[in-house]
Every structure is written in C-alpha cells, then in structure tokens.
Amino acid sequence: MTSTFSTDPEAVVAVPVVLTTDRRGNLLWLFNIRLLIGLVILAVMGLGSFILPSFAPADPSVQATYMSNMPVSSIHLLGTNSLGQDIFWFLVFAIRNSLMLGIVVGVGVTVIANIVGLSAGYIGGRFERIVMLFVDTFITVPLLPILIILGALIRGNTSFLTVGLIIVVFGWAWDARTVRSLALSLREREFINMARFSGANTLHILFREIFPYVSAYIVVGFINVVLFAINTEATLAVIGLSKVEVPTLGSIIFWALNYNALFTGQYVWLVAPIVATITLFMGLFLTSTGFNQAFASKRGLS
Amino acid sequence: MTIILKTEELNKVYRSGGIVGARQIHALRDVNITVDSDKPVVIAVVGESGSGKTTLAKTLLRLEAPTSGRAIVYDNVVAGTGATQSKREFLGLVQPIFQNPFEAFSRYRPVDAYLYETARRVAGMDKTQAEAAVADALDSVGLDHGHIRGKYTAQFSGGELQRISVARALIPQPKLIIADEPVSMIDASRRMIIINLFKRLRDEAGRSFLYITHDLATAYYISDFVAVMNKGQVVEFGPARQVMSDPQHSYTRLLLDSIPTIRSRWRPRAPVAA
Amino acid sequence: MIRLNALKISYRIGGRIIGAVDGVTLTIPDGCIVGIAGESGCGKSTLMKAIYGDIQAPMYLSGGSINYGLKGLDGRPVTTDNIRKEWFRSISYVPQSSMNSLNPVTRIREQFIDFPGTDSNKKRVLERARDYIGRLGLAPDILDSYPHQLSGGMRQRVMIGLATFFQPELIIADEPTTALDVVVQKEILMLLMEVQEQMGNTVLVVSHDMGVHYQTTHKMLIMYAGRVVEYGDTDSVFADPQHPYTKMLIDSLPTIGDDSMRGVMASQSGAGGDRAYQVEPSLVEVKPNHFVAGPALDAGALA
C-alpha cells in the first residue's frame, strides 16, 4: 500500500481522486466475481449456440431423423427423444433461438422505453402527462393473459418472431416509467442548465448530457428484459401456445411433457433443457447484478 | 445612459400542494429595481435564504416565467410581456454562473466541450474562431487552455471549475453576467480570486454583473449598487457604499449587525479560567 | 485539560492510506472556547471526530494518543477506547446539519427522554427539558413538535440543548452555524457563548469563517494539511499573525468599510503556495501563549 499525503482527504473520501489522467482509468472497476461468472456463462452459451449450429449434421427440428430413445453416446451426446430428434442439437438450436428472441425483444423494448421515458421525463409539462397516460395504460395491461388468449386464438399459426413482437408491445411500458423518473431527477441538475446556456437544444441535451447518466441503468435494464422475454416465451411454449415446432427452451419442455418423458424414463430429454434454462438465467442474472454492483460501487466512490 | 437592469412590478408566485389545501409562496413581490449607467456595473442582490434573490436570478435567466411584471436588461425586455428575443439572442445578452462548481459540468464530458459548444452554437463561430475564442476566454480567467483540454470535472478544484464557468460565460460576449452565489461553495481564501476576477472583467472587459449573494462583505467589496431583499421584496436599494454605511431599513441594519466582522466584538470577552 | 500527543489519524481507502491528521501535539485548556480554523481538507473535522471518539473504519488512529483528563462514571480515566460511554455525559457534539441528527419521525421530546442513563422518571426529565429549553430561547411546546416543523435556527438550538443538557465538560461543535442564515448565526453563537459562560465548560468550535472565530473564541488554532500551523489567544492571533497561512486567511476577508484590495496573497500563492504553507508538526512559542509551527524541513518529500 502506498502512503500518500493528500491535502484534500475529505474530498477523497467523497470523490475518489482520479490519479490517472484519462477519464475512466482502466476498466478494472467494472469486473467483480459475479459479473465475470455471468459473462463467462453467457459467452459460452451464446457463442456455443450461435457457432455450433453450422456444424449440425441435420436440422434438429425434423422429426424421425434418427432412431428414437437412444441413450447418451458419442454420436448422440444427449441421446435422442421419442420423436427421433437428437436432443443435444435440438438443445443447441433451442438456446440460440431463445437467445435471439430475447435479444430482439431486449433491443426493441430498450429503444422504445428509453426514447419515450427520456423525452417524457425531460420535456415535462403537457407532453409528459399525455405520454405517461399512455405508458400507464400499457403497464396495467397484464401481459401473460393477453398472450395466452392470443396464443389460443392463433394456436401455433404465428411466426416465432410475432410472439417476440407481442412481448415488445406489452413489455416496453414498465421500463419507460423507470427511465422517465431517472430523467426527471436529472432535469434539475445544474449541468443541464449549463448545457442550455451553451446553446444545446433538447435532442442534444437528451443524448449528450442525460444519456450517459442513465446508461448504467440501460445496460442492466436490457439484460433484465432479455431474461423476461426468454422466460415469457418459454412459459407460452410449455403451455403449447407458441410455435412449438421451432426449437426453443420452452418447446423442448413442451414436447418432453407431452410425451411423458418423466414416466418413460427419458430424464435427459426433460432435465437437459431445464438445466440449460437455469444456467442461462443464472448467466443473465449474474451479469445483470454484476453490472449493477460495478456501477454502484463506482457511483459510491464517485 | 443605458438601462442596465430594470424590473417593473415583477412578481412570482409558486403554488405547492395538490388540489386541496394548496399553498402559495410569494417568492417575488412587486420587485422594482432600476439601474441606469454609462459604464458597466456590478449590482449585488443580497438576502438570506427565502428572500427571493435566487428566484430573481432564475426569472432574469428565463428559467422561470414571472407571474406578472417584466424585466429589462440593457434595453431589451427579457422577461414578462413583450419579451420577444429569440433564444440565441438572449444567450448572447445574458449568461449565468451557478453556485455549485462540481455540478456545473457533466461528469462524462470534458469541460472544454461546453466552451466549444458555446462558441459554436451561441456565438455562431466556426471551428478556428471557436478555438481562438476558447483559448482567449480561458486566458482572461487565468487558465491555460493546454492544461484544461480534454479533462473532466473530477480533475479540477472548485475554484478552477468556477473560473472555467466564468470563461464559458464570457465567450458570447454577454452584456450581463448573472452570478448566483458563485463563491459560496469555495474556500474562503480562494474566493477573492474569483471576486477580483469579476472586478477586473467589469473594468477591463466591460461586462456588467448581477452578483447574488448572502455575503455582504464581498458585496460591499465589488458592487456599485446593492439591493437588499427580504421575503420576496426589495427593502433597500442604492449605491453600495451608501447602503452599507448608512442603511435606512431596519432589516438592512439587522443584516449588517449580524455579520461576524473582525473589527469589533458583539459582546465583551469573558475572562478565561486559567 | 485535553492533551493531544503527536496524534495521527488516517483513512484506509481502496488500498491506499490517506493521512488526514498528521501529527498534532496540543494542550487544550479548560473552561474556554477554542476555535479550529482551516479550509476544506485540512483535517479539522477528522480531528474533531477523533477527539469525540467517533473513530470508525475507514478512519483509524495511526499514531499518538489523546489524554482526556476526565474520569468516567466507573472512576477509571477516559481514553479513546471507552469514550463512547461518556457521550452526552461528559462530552457532547453539536453537528453541522441538525436535520441529519434529529430523528425525523419522533417528536423532539423523545430525543431528550431517550438518552441512556437518564433519570428513569420520564416525567421529571421532561419537565427539566421544558424548563431548559425555555432558557435557550425556545417556546416549551417545541418539545411536542417534529423536527421538520421547526426552522433551521430552532433545530440548531435544540441540538445545543441536547448537547448541553447533562452539563458536559467538553462540547464539540463542528461548523454549527455554517448552514444557517447570518442573522440566525449570530443568535446561535451568542447562545453558545452564554451557555459556555454559565457552565464553564470547554467548547471546541470548528469553522472556516474567521469572523466567527474572532467573535466567539478565546483561543484559536489554524490547521493546514493535517498539522497545526498556529495556535494562540484569538486576540493575539488576529492582531499579530505569525504564519503566512494565517496571514493569508485574514487577508482574504473583505470587511465593510474597508476599501483596500483583498485576496492578493491568495492569488500570489497560486500553485507553489501549498508547499510554502507546509509545516513541521511541532509548535514553538514565539510570544506568550502564541505558538507557531516551523516550515516543513522536507517539503519536497511530500509529493
């Protein structure tokens, strides 16, 4: 430990003395154990599920490709299921599709929620009141019942991404509210006035001044939405209301349940996707809370 | 003689509370101040918290709209009925300096970004002109552009940040700079650097200042005129020397009496138990 | 008499050690008001916390000791380790921000009753409190109010009331009037002086405002960079300041009626000034009761 005499120790306690001359120093502050583990899990599952499919010997969603109910072996890493599909490859595609859906929904929700929330919170006045009325209406609409009803009406005749779209439409409102209250608190800070007197217009202030302060929340929010989207889709799939031919984490479980995997002793079929789902969620959760912790500790020092 | 500052029956009422039981806060009551002069001046507005001095600053800076009345700065109507200026024109006329130097700039942007922005957007300069203007402005507050370039708020002291704020305010060559408690968050010994800077800018660069403060001593030191505010009203107004040496209003006298001066004691010192 | 012996207090932050108080040796006499002056970062607040006994991580005692010259309830001498038991009894604290110190959801009277070791007869305590509050210039029904219903000045009076209720021998006031308007500040300072005169206890007042020191203190000490640069009777320090830092502080005060150019010394010190003010930790008596520290010998070492 180096001993330093600083003539401003109170300031150091409140604000960490930035001894490096560049802005963020190195990014070491960012990484803590939690975040590292989370990112590793996501990297493995993400890269694995996006790269591996190019090596798949066959389209895993096609039924009766192989003999059914084969045990774990070197050819079929997780065996095959009652439909004659290779479980391992099905799982890989499933993770990929679920992740893709999650990311698409995540991006959609984040973009919409931030545009709406930031502008409402910052502009205020009548504009804010009208927008928030809109937002609050969407918040109160319960997502799952709507999806179930829609799913029951459409019954698998919808494209996989339509489900994603519906989740976006009903999922953006909650985050919008959070972002708006952030923008509200930032609006009052002095540097916003400084920017105004420097000639900045509203758009400029939103993106250059306010956005950096909310970026930490956006990162965490995005990951949470991904989690939420995958979860919702899986829930629908398990009930059979999504396009269950498409491999997703939920649809595996759907088929496994429908073919009574538990009772026929095909534990791998059922357990594999559950383990994968839990691991994926753990990865997302750890990453999200890891970022939260990193940002909070940085804020706490600064 | 130009009208440097004139407020006519300026009023500001805030409503707080909901539909039931709302309270009205009369932050500015019939404020009438007139300052005419040929030369640039420093006008001090002194008062305690709740006196309305900050509301006055906000109204003149167009951060709040007056409930009634109007305000004129350098022959231009800036607030109230008849305020016709575009935002750009206004920013070229009036510029602020705020109280908290650490909140003056975003943590995530280099501080000179604000200076460049002011030069490009308010003063309408191109890149080369802006570069020169920024260097000039920093020079006039005693800072070197090379030292400031690309650095962030956390790398400066309060006094330096406040000087950078002054530099930024100077760039569009405003006629009036409104400084709202500019030195209250700075150490006592470094305050005078900023205060002396205001003096110099008035004398050498021809800028007028509206100096809002609760510190009568610094107000006395640099102002030409003083307005004393209490509970939203201006209770006394006049040339600084005159108001401070011969106060007419009881509140002004009370304020002057309460300053812990180092010239005379409030009560005789009790002998110390040895 | 409180004796500080080569006291050093440091902070452990993120793997680094930051010295806040860097060797203070001082004797604080009884029965007077002692002012501690200095600017932000000089260590005055840390010194007060150390004397008060509020030393908790990341702050720690890195050298020296404090002799309080007091005996606790159990008859044993008070030291830095057991001083907590004496809080509000022999030693008490008036903080800068009363709003942060008064429990916002309880009435003021609860704060008086809640003291450990109070008379168990709550009614009696309350009556004494009402009576005492009256003498501090507050209406007795203040006790039935919540803190947010009172003005800043009234709250600070309540804090002084709480701090002096048990007639402690030492009161530490850390920037007690900084958050108050100047008119109220005068009232609170006058109250503090009256209370001290009546009780004859020792009051340590921390303030960055030299005017406050001039008006209220008998003796004062000026700190810079964790060390004491000057210490003496207030009159002597103001009339004949010895150390350049003290001179600069006094020079930076404009006064009404005085038209001379102020703050020249501060601008001259500029970047090199910090070095010029650094001192050795030991004080030398240059006039009766007036001590000053010599310039730092190894000024270059503290980089």
Q: What is the predicted pLDDT for the residue at A188?
A: 83
- ipTM metric: 0.88
CB contacts of A212 in chain B (<8 Å) are 106-109
> For residue B228, what are the β-bridge partners?
B46, B236
Could you report the per-residue pLDDT of B61-77, keeping only the tens digit for each?
A: 999 889 999 999 998 88
Residue C279 · residue C295 · CB < 8 Å: yes
Q: What is the predicted pLDDT for the residue at B254?
A: 92
Could you report the per-residue pLDDT of B225-247, keeping only the tens digit for each?
A: 999 999 999 999 999 999 988 99
Per the CB < 8 Å rule, is A18 touching B152? yes
Mean pLDDT estimate for chain A = 80
Per the CB < 8 Å rule, is B262 touching C211? yes
Mean pLDDT estimate for chain C = 84
> In this structure, which amino acid lies at residue A199?
G
Average pLDDT in the A152-164 region? 71
Q: What is the predicted pLDDT for the residue at A13?
A: 34
Provide long-range contacts, Cβ within 8 A and 24+ apart, for B33-37: B33/B5, B33/B6, B33/B7, B33/B227, B33/B234, B33/B237, B34/B3, B34/B5, B34/B6, B34/B7, B35/B3, B35/B4, B35/B5, B35/B6, B35/B225, B36/B1, B36/B2, B36/B3, B36/B4, B37/B1, B37/B2, B37/B4, B37/B224
Residue A214: other Cβ atoms inside 10 A: 20
Residue C180: its H or E element: none
Is B50's pLDDT higher than 50?
yes
C80 three-class SS = coil
Is A22's pLDDT higher than 70?
no
Question: Topology of A89-301 in CATH?
Answer: MetI-like fold (1.10.3720)
Q: What is the predicted pLDDT for the residue at C260?
A: 79
Q: What is the predicted pLDDT for the residue at A20?
A: 33
Is B19's pLDDT higher than 70?
no
Could you report the per-residue pLDDT of A110-149, keeping only the tens digit for each?
A: 999 999 998 898 888 889 899 999 899 888 888 778 877 8
Q: What is the predicted pLDDT for the residue at C176?
A: 87
Average pLDDT in the A175-192 region? 89
The percentage of residues in chain A with a pLDDT greater than 70, rounded to a whole number, is: 86
Best mutation target among B191, B222, B228, B262 (most C Cβ atoms within 10 Å) is B262
**C95 falls in which pLDDT band (50, 70, 90)?**
confident
A246 three-class SS = coil
Task: Tell me how far apart the alpha carbons of residues C26 and C44 are, in angstroms, rounded to a whole number.
Answer: 14
Per the CB < 8 Å rule, is A191 touching B96? no
Partners for A (CB, 8 Å, 3+ pairs)? B, C
**C72 falls in which pLDDT band (50, 70, 90)?**
confident
Highest mean pLDDT of the ranges A237-241, C129-133, C230-234 = C230-234
Q: What is the predicted pLDDT for the residue at C119?
A: 65
Q: What is the predicted pLDDT for the residue at A171?
A: 82
Average pLDDT in the C263-291 region? 74
Q: What is the predicted pLDDT for the residue at B174?
A: 94
Q: Which among B192, B218, B270 has the least Cβ separation from residue C197?
A: B270
Average pLDDT in the C107-131 region? 78
Is B135's pLDDT higher than 90?
yes
Is C25's pLDDT higher than 80?
yes
State which residue of chain C sits closest to B259, comparing Cα positions.
Answer: C182
Find, among B245, B250, B234, B189, the residue nearest to B44 by Cα: B234
Average pLDDT in the A141-170 region? 76
Cβ contacts of residue C209 below 8 Å, gap of 6+?
A: B188, B260, C178
**Sequence spans of domains, chain B:** 2-251
B237 three-class SS = strand
Partners for B (CB, 8 Å, 3+ pairs)? A, C
Q: What is the predicted pLDDT for the residue at C221?
A: 92
Average pLDDT in the C228-242 region? 92
Could you report the per-residue pLDDT of B151-165, keeping only the tens digit for each?
A: 999 889 888 999 999
Query: Is the pTM above the cut of 0.90?
Result: no
Six token digits for residue C24: 């203070």
Find, among B34, B28, B33, the residue nearest to B68 by Cα: B28
Task: Tell me how far apart the alpha carbons of residues A186 and A121 are, in angstroms, rounded to a whole number.
Answer: 9
Q: What is the predicted pLDDT for the residue at A302?
A: 39
Q: Is A1 on the interface with C (CB under 8 A)?
A: yes
**C272 falls in which pLDDT band (50, 70, 90)?**
very low
> In this structure, which amino acid lies at residue B55?
T
Q: What is the predicted pLDDT for the residue at B181?
A: 93
**B134 falls in which pLDDT band (50, 70, 90)?**
very high
Give B83→chain C minimum CA distance, Å: 35
C39 three-class SS = coil
Q: Is C214 on the interface with B (CB under 8 A)?
A: yes
Q: Which of A63-77, B230-244, C9-23, C220-234 has the lowest mean pLDDT?
A: A63-77
> In this structure, which amino acid lies at residue B213?
T
Domain B2-251 has CATH 3.60.9.10: no
Q: Which CATH number applies to C2-90+168-295: 3.30.300.20, 3.40.50.10490, 1.10.3210.10, 3.40.50.300?
A: 3.40.50.300
Q: What is the predicted pLDDT for the residue at B204?
A: 92
Average pLDDT in the C122-129 region? 82
String of b and e for C63-99 (b: at least 16 CB within 10 Å)? ebebebebebeeeeebebeebeebbbbbbbbbbbbbe
Average pLDDT in the C97-104 region? 78
Is A2's pLDDT higher than 50?
no
> In this structure, which amino acid lies at residue A257?
L
Could you report the per-residue pLDDT of C251-261, keeping only the tens digit for each?
A: 888 888 777 78
Six token digits for residue B198: 């205001």
Average pLDDT in the C165-178 region? 87
Task: Tell me how far apart the alpha carbons of residues B80 and B62 are, in angstroms, rounded to a whole number.
Answer: 9
Per the CB < 8 Å rule, is A12 touching C17? no
Per the CB < 8 Å rule, is A9 touching C20? yes
Q: What is the predicted pLDDT for the residue at C302?
A: 43
**Sequence spans of domains, chain C:** 2-90+168-295
Q: What is the predicted pLDDT for the residue at B272?
A: 60
Task: Tell me how far apart the alpha carbons of residues A77 and C298 are, in angstroms, rounded to a whole number.
Answer: 72
Q: What is the predicted pLDDT for the residue at A89?
A: 85
Q: Which of B104-108, C39-43, C118-122, C205-209 has the lowest mean pLDDT?
A: C118-122
